[in-house]
Structure 1
């Protein structure tokens, strides 16, 4: 935390008017005095949203970290579209925009951008099986709908100079995720999305594909309104330099994107079908076991799917069996009498998951602590500790899941596992195991967040306040 540093600098700057006889206060001073940093953002998976554990999203965590360094409160101003971000920032309704904005030539006319924190490319998106995949802009045949005032629209204007026949519609009401849904539902033939947005949303709309990139790699960055005062902007630039230097930026990007690097169409499509056909039979028991062990039932369901594809009679070649695929040793430890008994398996798996979470040191941040516990569920807590020790020996932070995940495969290499307490293990499988569960969990969270409350729930939440007499 550099809060003290910023406040000492600010205190020195605030003394200048007394020494020089003039009145002066820069933007950083004013933010520190007000105790509030106002940040424009968008409600989207790549920026900011309310997750099961509270506010999340890459832009949220970046902005929260900056506000914490300044020692001020973060005030998020959520707008509904890129057009609104542009309008609000140009009117200086916020100090900055952290909204997944691409650095473009047109935007540089009215905004100052920090160094990029992430690199993306713009991609033409279509629905597999609905239209033929075009290989170039000249082969585009169908309706193309993009965000208004977006980098995508700007790029299309550039492309139209070489392709005068190119036409599109700009939508100022919807977000990228909603345009992707329109393509998935055949309401539009094509849209443009940043590669990171498509990667996250393909899990929810598995028929979507990228036809080709329409741009070279571009940077995403924070935008500040142009003006003579660079104090807050300079502080943000310094902040990102520190994040890159200490590895925190890479950790945050891994947290939000590391589990979706590889898209599995067949597996995702099957999972969506099993949610419809199998999950309803087991949801009540999953919710009950999760509640009893202070877990999100969707995480428990994601684990169960990775273990058995929600099959209570599943048996592995190694003799692991049941809905949660408990080993004989784990079942004995938990007091589970019959591993193929549905409730015993679910309850035992939930209880074991809670025990593993509590074994992982409490100092480890959420959700990294959970991901390490899931790795231990798959590979054993002893092997997880071996991987963390290897991580330490390599001079890396063993309390960060990104680092441990990278080193888990070393448990298969003799040069490393011979010097561990528990020896050889298929650490690469544990890393894949956790990544799959994270993807299943994201899909379940996305689907259940769209559910409408039942009439009983509506009635329970409906109260009439009596007038004061």
Structure 2
């Protein structure tokens, strides 16, 4: 369980005002007990049941993050209370916890008005079901292509209801639904051949497709569903009303659309750019920052070309870059990390480059002494992307699987498992997009190789400088 305090110094005043305002929202007494909202305001704490997934709540580079986490954090702030998160649920257990314990569930829950024991808020966003299938199968482009396929979906997500409606027209249609799997496991089963296809939501697939190249997008299935928050049916009228007002205000202000774009509108920022594009940037952008990378390298005892490769992977050498999760600058430092490093302006290239180099050195030095050589460097780079906590979780998983936690090659195989509930539920830091640091390190190594080749060519063969942009990837030494 995670406790997130509300930092507002006016919390007590806000809580008092909110309590007084309850008289404007009459809640009929049902059991003689105070209403749910009154109880929350009195204890100054909102308890939320959720799932440890990239679309709900997880521990990111800046700490707790996720679309629904951001929403409930703001909701708790509006109420003037602290927030506590319990994220060890799947959909069914989150709903049951709401019924038995309160206060609310925010776990990518489909709005089901007739569900016993809970009431729902107004819709927050649409959930569009999509069919995906294993690459190599005949194209799955319409409902006619589904009968005969082995299909899986997540239990309780609402996608099973869509399949049930489709079965009226296709009686031979069959599928399996499990509440114990999350999106990464489902896509992994498709890619590994355990399933032919799966039905999930389009934004979930877009967030994860980079890590499952063996899975193809098929077609949109049925009408969109609605995602909503769930509350206990008893004593929660005022709380539901407060949530509905909050959602409406967020929508009317355009902030809800901005959050959707921030969390779900960037599904390709880790894509590996082509070599020609990279070499264009070497010629057009890197010269402005080469001396800064050299200075930072001398201070941090890294190869300047390695630091430049990290900077390119982070921002494509754009000093004004801002990621979907709010990290900024050429080396994409978080606010907290920048503060620890004494970086006052993350958008200043010199501060960002020197700060990023110091941060990579700190991570390198904090790793256990048993990790040596390139393994140590690659793990430090992975930690720059995903955080030391998640890297340590992957090392422990590596040990459990009989691998060597001091070898990058073994840890690299374990990192993607942090996306699977079976594994991340056993870890200290929970879910992580563990496929990202694997791609991250791979890309940096490739950029470093190319920069080393170009730098060596310029020093040894000046004539090659003019032809550098025409170099084909297959001709570059590995």
* TM score, norm. by length of structure 2: 0.58
Give 3-state SS (helix, strand or coil) of 2:227's partner.
strand
CA distance in structure 2 between the aligned counterparts of 1:141 and 1:99, rounded to whole angstroms:
32
- Give 1:173 shift: 1.9
> Corresponding residue for 1:33?
42
1:319 alignment partner, one of 280, 283, 302: 283
Question: Does the 8 Å CA contact 1:115/1:237 hold for their aligned counterparts?
Answer: yes
Deviations along 1:421-445, one digit per CA (max 9) or x if unpaired, are xxxxxxxxxxxxxxxxxxx968xx9
Change over 3 Å in CA distance of 1:104–1:337 after alignment to 2: closer
Give 3-state SS (helix, strand or coil) of 1:202's partner.
helix
Question: Does the 8 Å CA contact 1:47/1:99 hold for their aligned counterparts?
Answer: yes
Gaps of 5+ in 1: 17-21, 272-305, 376-383, 386-439, 458-469
1:368 is aligned to 2:326? yes
* TM score, norm. by length of structure 1: 0.60
> Corresponding residue for 1:101?
109
Question: Does the 8 Å CA contact 1:146/1:152 hold for their aligned counterparts?
Answer: yes
Give 3-state SS (helix, strand or coil) of 2:205's partner.
helix
CA distance in structure 2 between the aligned counterparts of 1:187 and 1:447, rounded to whole angstroms:
28
2:169 alignment partner, one of 156, 159, 162: 162
Change over 3 Å in CA distance of 1:330–1:94 after alignment to 2: same
- Give 1:447 shift: 9.5
CA distance in structure 1 between the aligned counterparts of 2:323 and 2:145, rounded to whole angstroms:
49
Give 3-state SS (helix, strand or coil) of 2:266's partner.
helix
Question: Relative CO higher for 1 or 2, CA cutoff 8 Å, sep ≥ 6?
Answer: 2
Question: Does the 8 Å CA contact 2:310/2:331 hold for their aligned counterparts?
Answer: no
Give 3-state SS (helix, strand or coil) of 2:87's partner.
strand
Deviations along 1:147-188, one digit per CA (max 9) or x if unpaired, are 223311122222222322222222232123211111111111
> Corresponding residue for 1:150?
157
1:87 alignment partner, one of 72, 86, 96: 96
> Corresponding residue for 2:461?
none
- Give 1:233 shift: 0.8
Q: CA RMSD in A?
A: 4.5
Change over 3 Å in CA distance of 1:242–1:374 after alignment to 2: same
Deviations along 1:347-390, one digit per CA (max 9) or x if unpaired, are 46779999x99x98xxx999535168769xxxxxxxx99xxxxx
> Corresponding residue for 1:177?
184
Greater mean deviation of Cα atoms: 55-64 or 250-259:
250-259
CA distance in structure 2 between the aligned counterparts of 1:95 and 1:352, rounded to whole angstroms:
44
Deviations along 1:42-77, one digit per CA (max 9) or x if unpaired, are 111111111122111111111111112222221112
Question: Does the 8 Å CA contact 2:15/2:81 hold for their aligned counterparts?
Answer: no
Question: Does the 8 Å CA contact 2:22/2:238 hold for their aligned counterparts?
Answer: no
Question: How many residues are matched?
Answer: 334
1:44 is aligned to 2:53? yes
Change over 3 Å in CA distance of 1:104–1:213 after alignment to 2: farther
- Give 1:245 shift: 2.7
- Give 1:92 shift: 2.9
CA distance in structure 1 between the aligned counterparts of 2:43 and 2:169, rounded to whole angstroms:
50
Change over 3 Å in CA distance of 1:201–1:10 after alignment to 2: same
> Corresponding residue for 1:343?
303
Listed as ranges, the matches of 1:323-402 within 5 Å are 326-327=286-287, 329-332=288-291, 343-347=303-307, 367-368=325-326, 370=328
Give 3-state SS (helix, strand or coil) of 1:42's partner.
coil
Question: Does the 8 Å CA contact 2:109/2:227 hold for their aligned counterparts?
Answer: yes
CA distance in structure 2 between the aligned counterparts of 1:455 and 1:350, rounded to whole angstroms:
23
